[in-house]
Structure 1
Amino acid sequence: MSPLSKLFNHARRYRKHAVLASVYSALNKFFDVLPEILIGVAVDVVVSKQDSFLAKIGIADTQSQLIWLGILTVLIWGGESLFQYLYSVAWRDLAQNLQHDLRKEAYAHVQRLELGWFENRSSGNLLSILNDDINQMERFLNTGANMILQIVCSSILISIVFFVIAPGIAVIALLPVPLILYGTFWFQRRLAPRYADVREAAGRIGGRLNNNLFGIATIKSYTAEDFEAAHVDEASRAYVTTNAAAIRLSSAITPVIRMAVLAGFVVTLVYGGYLALHGQIAVGSYSVLVYLTQRLLWPFTGLAEIADLYQRSMASIDRVLGLIQTPLAIPYEGERLPRELVKGAVRLEQVDFSYDGAQPALTGVDLDIAPGQTIGFVGSTGSGKSTLIKLLLRFYTPKSGRILLDGHDISALDLQDLRRAVGYVAQEPFLTDGTIADNIAYGAPSASRADVEAAARSAEAHEFIARLPLGYDTPVGERGQKLSGGQRQRIALARAILKSPPILVLDEATSAVDNETEAAIQRSLARVSRGRTTLVIAHRLSTVRQADIIHVLEHGRIVESGKHDALLDRGGIYAGLWRLQTGELDTAGAT
């Protein structure tokens, strides 16, 4: 199935719109062809007078014939203009609506894809598909589809006129058409893979630019502007080289078609003139044939532009539909579990997981968390702490074993219900480009301003928010760049508090903040953890010191568990980490 067929098969709801737009295009072309026929009729009136075609159908007076020609000309041009307006609006409306629906559908599908899918793909390439590729499809529907239809319609209409007036000339004049079509399709088949490569090259440029813009502060701090500019230059040159190969091939179409058009036109001009001179066809008919030959064959020179636009669009449509049709590894639908019924009991049974299928991230993890407990997870980088949380949120699926929430296997739960039950505060929280109030109410859009402020007070964020010129209406900027790291963390915590989830997760939320912010988060945590299951991943052990149970992970296994004091008394890994962080190890070494 061709990409265009896939597109219209995918967008069934727009078939009536496409048919109506096509009818308008055909009617416009019908009226567009008629003026050339009128020119022939006018010549016939001037040359033949009372023996003209119009005289034979009952309009004998030459003056009346000219008046009727004028009236018909106005009507024909009016009809052509009307249907040009209608097809222009219809095709553009179709293009706009279809690109809107495709972009919305593609983005909605991307949001449902599992986290692991994103780790192997460039965000810049995804942006290229969601934006540029869909726009490329829109450009084709705006102009290319109408141009193809009008060439087909004009070919049919003019061929009918040719065969009515001079069948012999028609056969000879139309001989180049099959050659033109065959040549066009021959070029198209060779253009398709080239334009697929062009779209991939464009995606790589987008990925490089997107990556650099996100890391602009690092680039500046390391004075790596020239280094990164060279990378962009390399990606851009690759795009230019790839595109040049396609351009060279597409540019060859027009000269080939021109030669075929010339052959048809010369035949009509010479052979038709010969027939007119010898009285075998009327002078007016000869005039019509000369004009119509040009009208028939000359539009075929536009096939080069159409073929180029078509192949670029088909390459884009393939990428967009390929994205939409990417299967979901983690289904969203499942057993319903409303948030208000969740108690917060979590159990892991012999959970194994690996990101790459080779190196284990978790091995044989057994864990039982009672509702309302505050549980701390500590360990070195790569020990598996954050992986536990990602599995609980079903960003990934365990290789073996299972995770239960209140006795329900989370793999069978509705994914939205599961995630609504969890308030998640990441190490680097995401803030949307809105106001502070918008970000706090992100998970609860119906919350009142009083609810937003209460959540901010619980997160000890109200004081710094009140000092801002616009208070809760202060814009945070893209990704919250107008705020400090500690301020972003407190807003993220307020957002989780306002969501009021049965389970609260803090994934190293204090690892990159100052002591004052850490103390504020700890005070907030002591308040908001009451009555809900709270899971805290921490590098700073002071954050989990008051936890009901602390689990120490090493190489994907839980190697120690217990309260803070008990773990210190044991003198194991946790005790070593505590001494390292508090400076006791240095003191002991000095003595």
Structure 2
Amino acid sequence: MANHPLLQLLRHTHRHQAQIWRASLCSVLNKVFDLAPPLLIGMAVDVVVERQNSLLARWGIGDVTQQLILLSILSFVIWSLESLFEYLYDRLWRNLAQTVQHELRLEAYAHLQNLEMAYFEERSSGTLMAILNDDINQLERFLDRGANEILQVTTTVLVIGAVFFALAPGVAWFSMIPMPFIFWGSVAFQKRLAPRYADVREKAGLINERLTNNLGGILTIKSFTSEGYELDRLGLDSEAYRQSNQRAIALSAAYVPLIRFVILFGFTATLLFGGIAASRGALDVGAYSVMVFLTQRLLWPLTRLGETLDQYQRAMASTQRVINLLETPIAIHPGQRPLLPTQVRGELEFISVNFGYANRPGILKNINLKIPAGQTIGVVGATGSGKSTLVKLLLRLYEIHGGQILLDGIEIHEYNLRDLRASIGLVSQDVFLFHGTVAENIAYGAFDATPAEITQAAKIAEAHEFIQQLPQGYDTVVGERGQKLSGGQRQRLAIARAILKDPPILVLDEATSAVDNETEAAIQRSLAHITQNRTTIAVAHRLSTIRQAHCIYVMEQGEIAEFGTHEELLEKNGIYAHLWQVQTGAMGEIKKSLR
């Protein structure tokens, strides 16, 4: 029971306990005053029928006109208070729903950002989008209406039950008999609905996953003319979602009709046996009128439990998914040692480092390499040899399984994680640009940069010229993921971003592998400028990119096969020499033979 989604939600919203109590009190008071009019009607009937023998007359108000005036004043006051508390509870619950939705989404997203990269690799972005958006919105809809409905139904049962037993205990049982069956039915429906709505949320996540993938890969879909194929696949996912909802609806829709039959028994029993008692004089006519009205007010609103229960189960299924995300443990813990970029010398050392991704054999095996401060090293090797993994471990996107990584003689896990990453500038092959202007993308991570600093960084990256040719220059919107720019243009903006960050350590991960020769030459000129007096790790496919490096490490199957300068490696006539021949002379011969 301690792990019930509702209890977990309450623990996550404890800071709003006072507002929850205020909203709950207003809901209860609104329902109390809402139930008062039938009592006033019964008292009015009592006045008209009994006159000087009415209940009010026994309380000392003998004149019939005065009795009716008093009832009119009470009616005005009660209706006014009912309207006031309806306004208050509606405002409190709805504001609470919006606040919880806002805070929970930010809390979930903040937690998500702190999770290791392996978490994202094992889950689709569509599923995570469904949790952050659809599931949290579903919870907001329940808090907006459902919580108030539950409180008001409970208040109705307690207040009317007390009034009935006070007026006519013998007849009251007939109205109360359906209650256990109604609540038992509600619990039974709840248990059967829970797994069905969990399946609905799962299917909704799959649709989000499909749509996110397809929108991101729209160029591939169009180029392979697979629009029909993708539409069919989306149709299958959507049909699965529809059928899952239909299974839930088939059960939830049966709730109200079944409950109505139970309610009908209580209402007709009260109408019949209460009428008999009133006709025999055993029950006052006014009291009988009150019971008939209140029986309807008691039992018919219970049919809304079906809708409320439906909202509740949908919300609990969504809450469970959100809570599961929030309670996912963070595997990479930040260190406590502060690190200012100005204090970083940039000496890096990998000592017997071992690492492997989940459910895969070891990627890195006993890696040992040292990078003196301010020097540039190159890392080359075949695809899958572990080159980019070195970069990810340095940034602590993953935790090593063995060995040590030192920065200025201190293990990197001792440093504050944000400080560590702030000291490293990454330019990767897969450049990600955000939907925004050119200037905003260059200044990403250095948000307080001035226009002059942004322009200077662009000039060093040799991006200023093409930026000026864009329709709005630095204010040109690049589109989602920078789709309005070429690959080379995006790469130059990424370099400008790194220049503006001005980190003591620069990591180039295949920074020129996807650009043409002219763009590569421009990027090379930029890199030659920004790597001076800065520790640089250049992971490269094109060997021309790193031939001037102080030391080049050649990786093969997760191990360092050889290392040295460009000239030294050529003299060894090993793996590097073979790669160099393929990319220069031998490749030229191959091209000639193909002509």
TM tier, smaller: over 0.9
Question: Which residue matches 2:269?
Answer: 267
* 3-state SS, counterpart of residue 62 of structure 2: coil
Answer yes or no: is 1:378 the counterpart of 2:380: yes
- Work out the CA distance in 1 between the residues paired with 2:161 and 2:119: 54
Question: Which residue matches 1:195?
Answer: 197
The C-alpha deviation readout for 1:230-249, integer Å capped at 9, x for no partner, is: 11111111112222221111
- Work out the CA distance in 2 between the residues paired with 1:154 and 1:307: 17
Question: Which residue matches 1:244?
Answer: 246
- Residue of structure 2 aligned with 1:86, choices 80, 88, 93: 88
- Work out the CA distance in 1 between the residues paired with 2:587 and 2:280: 115
Superposed displacement of residue 357, structure 1 = 4.5
Question: Which residue matches 2:562?
Answer: 560
Answer yes or no: is 1:462 the counterpart of 2:464: yes
Question: Which residue matches 1:12?
Answer: 14
Question: Which residue matches 1:407?
Answer: 409
Question: Which residue matches 1:505?
Answer: 507
Superposed displacement of residue 583, structure 1 = 4.2
Q: Percent identity?
A: 56
Question: Which residue matches 1:136?
Answer: 138
Q: State the one-letter code of the partner of 1:459.
A: A
- Work out the CA distance in 2 between the residues paired with 1:22 and 1:11: 15
Report matched runs for 1:19-34 at 5 Å. Answer: 19-34=21-36
How many residue pairs were aligned?
591
Question: Which residue matches 1:541?
Answer: 543
- Work out the CA distance in 2 between the residues paired with 1:341 and 1:41: 84
The C-alpha deviation readout for 1:76-119, integer Å capped at 9, x for no partner, is: 11111000000000001111111111000000000000001111
Q: Unaligned 5+ residue runs, structure 1? A: none
Question: Which residue matches 2:151?
Answer: 149
- Work out the CA distance in 1 between the residues paired with 2:556 and 2:390: 13
Change (3 A) 1:79 1:590: closer
Question: Which residue matches 2:40?
Answer: 38
Q: State the one-letter code of the partner of 1:422.
A: I
Superposed displacement of residue 284, structure 1 = 1.3
- Work out the CA distance in 2 between the residues paired with 1:311 and 1:588: 66
Question: Which residue matches 1:516?
Answer: 518
- Work out the CA distance in 1 between the residues paired with 2:30 and 2:578: 83
Superposed displacement of residue 223, structure 1 = 0.5
* 3-state SS, counterpart of residue 35 of structure 2: helix
Superposed displacement of residue 70, structure 1 = 1.8
Answer yes or no: is 1:341 the counterpart of 2:352: no
The C-alpha deviation readout for 1:347-406, integer Å capped at 9, x for no partner, is: 001111111354221111110100111111111111111011011111111121111111
Q: State the one-letter code of the partner of 1:266.
A: T
- Residue of structure 1 aligned with 2:70, choices 68, 71, 79: 68
Answer yes or no: is 1:353 the counterpart of 2:355: yes
- Residue of structure 2 aligned with 1:160, choices 151, 159, 162: 162
- Work out the CA distance in 2 between the residues paired with 1:100 and 1:332: 26
Deviates more, 1:55-64 or 1:525-534: 55-64
Deviates more, 1:338-347 or 1:19-28: 338-347
Superposed displacement of residue 255, structure 1 = 1.7
- Residue of structure 2 aligned with 1:318, choices 306, 317, 320: 320
- Residue of structure 1 aligned with 2:229, choices 219, 227, 237: 227
Question: Which residue matches 1:487?
Answer: 489
TM-score, scaled to structure 2: 0.97
Question: Which residue matches 1:103?
Answer: 105
Question: Which residue matches 2:212?
Answer: 210
- Work out the CA distance in 2 between the residues paired with 1:141 and 1:581: 64
- Residue of structure 1 aligned with 2:582, choices 580, 583, 590: 580
Change (3 A) 1:407 1:325: same
CA RMSD of aligned residues (A): 1.4
Q: State the one-letter code of the partner of 2:463.
A: A
- Work out the CA distance in 1 between the residues paired with 2:519 and 2:113: 32
- Work out the CA distance in 1 between the residues paired with 2:8 and 2:275: 48
- Work out the CA distance in 2 between the residues paired with 1:589 and 1:461: 32
Superposed displacement of residue 588, structure 1 = 8.2
- Residue of structure 2 aligned with 1:472, choices 451, 471, 474: 474
Q: State the one-letter code of the partner of 2:361.
A: Q
* 3-state SS, counterpart of residue 16 of structure 2: helix
- Work out the CA distance in 1 between the residues paired with 2:41 and 2:508: 81
Q: State the one-letter code of the partner of 2:153.
A: I
Superposed displacement of residue 585, structure 1 = 4.5
Deviates more, 1:563-572 or 1:94-103: 563-572
Q: Unaligned 5+ residue runs, structure 2? A: none
- Work out the CA distance in 1 between the residues paired with 2:327 and 2:342: 35
Superposed displacement of residue 67, structure 1 = 2.1
Q: State the one-letter code of the partner of 2:489.
A: Q
Superposed displacement of residue 259, structure 1 = 1.2
The C-alpha deviation readout for 1:106-141, integer Å capped at 9, x for no partner, is: 000000000011111011000000000001110000
Change (3 A) 1:417 1:521: same
Deviates more, 1:76-85 or 1:430-439: 430-439
- Work out the CA distance in 1 between the residues paired with 2:515 and 2:589: 26
Q: State the one-letter code of the partner of 1:230.
A: D
* 8 Å contact from structure 2 (residues 510, 538) kept in 1: yes
The C-alpha deviation readout for 1:484-516, integer Å capped at 9, x for no partner, is: 111111111111111110100111111111212
- Work out the CA distance in 2 between the residues paired with 1:525 and 1:358: 35
- Work out the CA distance in 1 between the residues paired with 2:112 and 2:343: 30
Q: State the one-letter code of the partner of 2:116.
A: E
Question: Which residue matches 1:280?
Answer: 282
Answer yes or no: is 1:296 the counterpart of 2:305: no
- Work out the CA distance in 1 between the residues paired with 2:591 and 2:128: 53
- Residue of structure 2 aligned with 1:451, choices 446, 450, 453: 453
Superposed displacement of residue 41, structure 1 = 1.2
* 3-state SS, counterpart of residue 546 of structure 1: coil
Question: Which residue matches 2:365?
Answer: 363
- Work out the CA distance in 1 between the residues paired with 2:91 and 2:590: 81
- Work out the CA distance in 1 between the residues paired with 2:79 and 2:508: 71
Q: State the one-letter code of the partner of 2:508.
A: L
* 8 Å contact from structure 2 (residues 334, 414) kept in 1: no
* 8 Å contact from structure 2 (residues 334, 413) kept in 1: no
Superposed displacement of residue 263, structure 1 = 0.8
The C-alpha deviation readout for 1:157-176, integer Å capped at 9, x for no partner, is: 11111111111111221011
- Residue of structure 1 aligned with 2:572, choices 570, 573, 591: 570
Superposed displacement of residue 42, structure 1 = 1.4
